[in-house]
A and B are shown apart, each in its own frame.
Chain A
Amino acid sequence: MNERELDLQLIQRIQNGEQQAFALLVRKYQTRVANILTRYVRSSGDIPDVSQEVFIKVYKSLPNFRGDSAFYTWLFRITVNTAKNYLTSQSRRPPASDIDAEEADSYDGSGALKDEDNPESLLHSQEIKEVILKVIGGLPDELKSAITLRELEGMSYDEIAQIENCPIGTVRSRIFRAREAIDKQLKPLLEN
């Protein structure tokens, strides 16, 4: 099946005026967009704002997106472009003569903190990552292999079924069961 299918279904809905469908595109791609932005945006505190700007641009340009290239490729370009604009606007800012209030909070003189990362949030994110990877590590072999082939190798159910020598329906349910198991541990972490 086509890699872009969900994207295209959603884009079609948006182009037909169903604005809400855009929320799923944001949900699907926000981590990847933020990940690209980390290469450009120094201060991690600015990433949500720049991400938001990216998605608003994407939404505005969507009427022109006709689907001959992958949505992600297109999104990637807009993200990089927005990031570069952000950099330009940053460089035009006059150099501050003093440490401003925001920076002062994390500036304890020790030099241990290189940027404005909030240690608490990083710790928490680290925990989320560890939990996900731990649960995957502890999955029964057939579930672990199915989710790995899907998420890391990007294979379709059909390809996985051929490798694992099982029906597509089984692949479907194995991947789901893997996700369900991880989600059970993940959900409470994101909710507090």
Chain B
Amino acid sequence: MKHRLFLVALVSLISLIVSPQLMASSESEVAQPEQAKTAQVALPSALTYLNNMKQAYNNLNYTLLYLNTAQNKIEPKQLVHGVIDGKRISYFTYLNGAMRESLQFDGKISFYQQGTKPYSLISHQDQSVFADIANFDFKSGNRSYEYIILGKDRIAGKKAIAIRMISKDKYRYSYIVWLDLGSYLPLRLDIINKSNIILEQTMVVSMNISHTVSPWIKQLSTQSTPDILTLPQTTTSNIAQWNVDWLPTGFKVIKDDQHKLMMHDTDPVSYLMLNDGIVSVSVYISSNKSLLADQQTIIQRGGTLIYTKQVNNAEVNIIGQIPLVTAEKIAASIKPVH
């Protein structure tokens, strides 16, 4: 099995370098029974790697030291992950500046920061750095993305393989993910736009894997966590109803409610969360316009977009890791329900 994987990786690597004609001849030398099926051969192998990554990311005990880069800013961070009696635990911290830590375990995530009171939230989805990519349903995700092995590389001193997830349309970003060939843990993730500009990068600089869960994190799991906070909800009465007519392929509405913005005693807004298995996008619709709506506002940081527009006499705010064109199209499709 290993051999075959390697061969396939090699073939797809060659395909990037040489012309189609050469490709055909190299394939016949390899004596594959089917001819010219490079795409079909490459797809399962990239898919296998990606599924191995999912397994590794969720099941191994590891510590990652990594850098997040967006625009000119680099943030060093650390993730410690373990599995205790089948339950995952993740500890996260910023390495520079004020202490900011979080701990996710047993359906809760707790936040600790220098100078403020710690608190917990009910949280069922893994919030750690590579979670959105690692937990993607790659198999059905091939409706939105194509997976291609780019080749081998060296990251954090490890032999790595680079896999590109290319968006099949212009409504989402593409990714390149590098996996450690030894453990299959993700080592680097680039978010790239359609011009191949890297919008954001996460790069592991040091990785440690252990057979058993670190005693330190095991100890953390036994300590009591701070109080759980609940997010307020508002009933639907008195709030105008809105429809979003257009969503990019693969996106679904996973939250639909009305609430006041956290900590701000604002008028309630209609809220939708859209998700395509990797990216989550918040859509806020408010009939009370704020000053933001005077003009269209576009704020971009790394891969994250904050978009504001006045639509049909309402203020629409869209936040998430999507291209501008997507936000524009979603906003334009919002209509009041009569």
B-side interface size class:
10 to 19
- Which residue in A57, A66, A69, A74 is a CB contact (below 8 Å) of B63? A66
B208 touches A81 (CB 8 A): no
Q: A65 at interface (Cβ–Cβ under 8 A)? A: yes
A84-B71 Cα distance, complex, nearest whole Å: 12
Residues of chain A with a CB closer than 8 A to B67's CB: 77, 81
A80-B74 Cα distance, complex, nearest whole Å: 9
B208 touches A66 (CB 8 A): yes
A68, A70, A80, most chain B CB atoms within 10 A: A68
B206 touches A74 (CB 8 A): yes
A61 touches B95 (CB 8 A): yes
Question: In the complex, how many angstroms separate the beta carbon of A68 from the nearest chain B beta carbon?
Answer: 6
Q: B96 at interface (Cβ–Cβ under 8 A)? A: yes
A74 touches B207 (CB 8 A): no
Q: B2 at interface (Cβ–Cβ under 8 A)? A: no
Residues of chain A with a CB closer than 8 A to B76's CB: 61, 77-78, 81
Q: A110 at interface (Cβ–Cβ under 8 A)? A: no
Q: B107 at interface (Cβ–Cβ under 8 A)? A: no
- Which residue in B73, B78, B157, B208 is a CB contact (below 8 Å) of A73? B157
Closest to A81 in B: B74
Q: A97 at interface (Cβ–Cβ under 8 A)? A: no
Chain B 201-230 interface mask (CB, 8 Å, partner A; 1/0): 000011110000000000000000000000
Count of A interface residues, CB-CB < 8 Å: 17
Q: A85 at interface (Cβ–Cβ under 8 A)? A: yes
B205 touches A68 (CB 8 A): no
Question: In the complex, how many angstroms separate the beta carbon of B82 from the nearest chain A beta carbon?
Answer: 15
Main secondary structure of the interface of A (DSSP, over half): helix
B206 touches A88 (CB 8 A): no
- Which residue in B74, B158, B206 is a CB contact (below 8 Å) of A64? B206
Question: In the complex, how many angstroms separate the beta carbon of A47 from the nearest chain B beta carbon?
Answer: 19
A58-B181 Cα distance, complex, nearest whole Å: 28
A65-B76 Cα distance, complex, nearest whole Å: 13
Known contacts A81-B76, A84-B72: does B157 contact A64 (CB below 8 Å)? no
Known contacts A65-B206, A68-B206, A74-B206: does B73 contact A88 (CB below 8 Å)? yes
Chain A 1-15 interface mask (CB, 8 Å, partner B; 1/0): 000000000000000
Q: B156 at interface (Cβ–Cβ under 8 A)? A: yes
Chain B 50-79 interface mask (CB, 8 Å, partner A; 1/0): 000000000000010101000011101010
B74 touches A66 (CB 8 A): no
Closest to A73 in B: B157
A77-B206 Cα distance, complex, nearest whole Å: 10
Known contacts A74-B206, A88-B73: does B157 contact A69 (CB below 8 Å)? yes
A64-B67 Cα distance, complex, nearest whole Å: 14
A69-B65 Cα distance, complex, nearest whole Å: 11
Closest to B75 in A: A81
Question: Which A residues between 100 and 147 are near B, CB-CB below 8 angstroms?
Answer: none
A66 touches B206 (CB 8 A): yes
A81-B206 Cα distance, complex, nearest whole Å: 15
Residues of chain B with a CB closer than 8 A to A61's CB: 65, 76, 95
A77-B74 Cα distance, complex, nearest whole Å: 10
A150-B76 Cα distance, complex, nearest whole Å: 34
B78 touches A64 (CB 8 A): yes
Q: Contacts A57-B95, A81-B96, A85-B74 given; 12 further ones with Cβ under 8 A?
A: A61-B65, A64-B63, A64-B65, A68-B206, A69-B156, A69-B157, A69-B158, A70-B157, A73-B205, A74-B205, A77-B67, A84-B73
Could you write out 16 A-B pairs with CB less than 8 Å apart? A61-B65, A61-B76, A61-B95, A64-B78, A66-B63, A66-B206, A66-B208, A68-B156, A68-B208, A69-B158, A69-B206, A74-B205, A78-B76, A81-B76, A84-B74, A88-B72
Give 6 nearest A-B pairs by CB, closest first: A69-B157, A66-B208, A77-B205, A69-B156, A81-B74, A69-B206
